[in-house]
């Protein structure tokens, strides 16, 4: 029969290892997709450029938009807003509106599909760049 202290040491070591792993993973553990109520895509001032404005509500003042992930995949640009919850904040439970503008990477394509991926759904909108816009930029 093993002594009782051996089981206690093993348990304490296992708990310490789990807590250390949680601390190491903490920066990304609390990131969540934000909810986007609506978005607006408009062509930029230069050929092949565009700007996307996201509108939404954060669940409480304890949430902040941490970053926006923008990925280009062929003729598609995926946008995913990520928010972080701060458990140390003491806040009144109320929604917090946000508005974010993102300049999309320039492209030589005549059109791209912009997809906004949020916590509830995936929506997309096609953006077409006019030839007149491209010609006007080339003359400068």
**Residue 58 binned pLDDT confidence (cut-offs 50, 70, 90):** very high
Enumerate the domain spans of the chain: 31-138
- Please tell me whether residue 17 adopts helix, strand or coil conformation: helix
On average, the pLDDT of the chain sits at 77
Residue that the structure tokens 């917090």 belong to:
96
- Confidence band, pLDDT 50/70/90 cuts, at residue 4: low
Asked if residues 118 and 126 have their Cβ atoms less than 8 Å apart, the reply is no
Q: Give mean pLDDT, residues 74-102.
A: 92
Contact 96, 130 (CB under 8 A): no
Q: Are 100 and 111 in contact (CB under 8 A)?
A: no
The per-residue pLDDT for range 12-48, each reduced to its tens digit, is 444 444 454 444 555 555 799 999 999 999 876 666 6
* Mean pLDDT to the nearest integer, 77-89: 93
């Amino acid at each position: 029969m093993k002594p009782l202290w051996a089981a206690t040491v093993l348990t304490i070591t296992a708990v310490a290892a789990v807590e250390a792993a949680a601390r190491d993973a903490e920066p990304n553990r609390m990131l969540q997709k934000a909810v986007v109520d609506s978005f607006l895509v408009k062509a930029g001032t230069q050929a092949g450029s565009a700007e996307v404005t996201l509108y939404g509500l954060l669940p409480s003042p304890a949430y902040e938009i941490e970053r926006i992930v923008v990925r280009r995949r062929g003729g598609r640009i995926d946008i995913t807003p990520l928010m972080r919850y701060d458990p140390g904040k003491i806040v009144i439970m109320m929604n917090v509106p946000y508005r974010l503008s993102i300049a999309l990477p320039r492209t030589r394509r005549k059109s791209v599909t912009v997809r906004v991926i949020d916590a509830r759904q995936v929506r997309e909108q096609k953006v077409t760049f006019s030839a007149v816009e491209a010609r006007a930029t080339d003359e400068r």
